[in-house]
Amino acid sequence: MQLSQILFTQGFGTRRECAGLVALGAVRVGGEVVDDPAADFAPAGLVLTIDGVDWPVHAKAVVLLHKPAGYECSARPKHWPSILSLLPSPLRTRGLQPVGRLDQDTTGALLLTDDGALIHRLTHPKRHVAKVYEVGTARPVEPAQVERLLAGVVLDDDPAPVRAAAAEATGECALRLVLTEGKYHQVKRMLAAVGNHVETLHRSRIGPIELPTGLKPGQWCWIDPALAEPGAGG
C-alpha cells in the first residue's frame, strides 16, 4: 500500500494532507525519512514515525483509556468535556467510540475502538463480559449487603433480579464488585437497593484487560485486538 494511503487509513488527514506530510519529510520508516508518497509498504506490523512520534499501523484501532473524572463518554457532551478530547487527533479522525459508558464521575478502564463489530460483541448482553469495579461507599459495607448483592436485587425498571458475579468488602467502606451486565447506573442503583450509597467508583478491569498501574488518569495505550475479544484470556 502506498505510504500516503497508509497515513490516510490511520487518520492523519485527507489524502492530500497525508501526501503532503510525506513530501515534507515528516514521516520515517525504520528510522529513515521517506519523502515519496507513492512508496509501497506492507501495513501489517509497520511502525511509522511521524514528527518524531512512533505510530504502529493498525487496521482497526483498540485502545485502553484511563478515564479521569469530569469527562463524558460522548462525542457530543452536554455538561463536561468529551473523553475523545483525551485522544490524539488521528484516533479522533478515525471515529473511535467507547465500548459502553462510564458516568462523568466514574474513573478507570475504558476501551475505545473504530471496530463496530467488536463493540457489538463486547456489549451484547449474551456475552457476559466481566467488569470489575472498586467502590467507595458512604456507609460501612455490611455482610448482609454483600449477600444481597450476590443473591440479586430488583431495580426499579426491571422485575428480574440483578446479581453481582462476585462481591467482597475490601475495607470498612470499600467494596469490589464484578458485574457481567451493563444496565444504566447499575452499580449505584444496586448499592442503593441494599441500603448504601456510592461515593467513588473506579473500574479496574474489563474482561482480561486490567488497567495498568502505570497508566495515569487521562493516558491511553494500545491494546491487542485479540485480547479485547469476548472470552479472551480464559
DSSP for 82-119? BGGGGS-HHHHHTT-EESS---TT-EEEEEEES-HHHH
What are the residue ranges of helices labelled H in the chain? 3-9, 15-23, 89-93, 116-123, 143-151, 186-193, 225-228
Residues 3/29, Cβ–Cβ less than 8 Å? yes
pLDDT digits (tens, 9 = 90+) for 195-223: 999 999 999 999 889 999 999 999 999 99
Grid cell, residue 139, equals: 456507609
Q: Is residue 228 scored above 60 in pLDDT?
A: yes
- State residue 233's pLDDT score: 64
Give the SS3 label for residue 122. helix
* Mean per-residue pLDDT, 23-31: 96
% pLDDT > 70, the chain: 99
**Domains (range + CATH), the chain:** 3-56 (3.10.290.10), 62-125+208-228 (3.30.70.580), 130-206 (3.30.70.1560)
Residues 7/27, Cβ–Cβ less than 8 Å? yes
Q: Catalytic residues, which ones?
A: 103
Q: Over the chain, what is the mean pLDDT?
A: 93
Q: Which residue in 108, 124, 134, 135 sits closest to 182, CA to CA? A: 124
pLDDT digits (tens, 9 = 90+) for 65-124: 999 999 999 888 889 999 999 999 999 999 999 998 899 999 999 999 999 999 888 887
End-to-end CA distance of the chain: 36
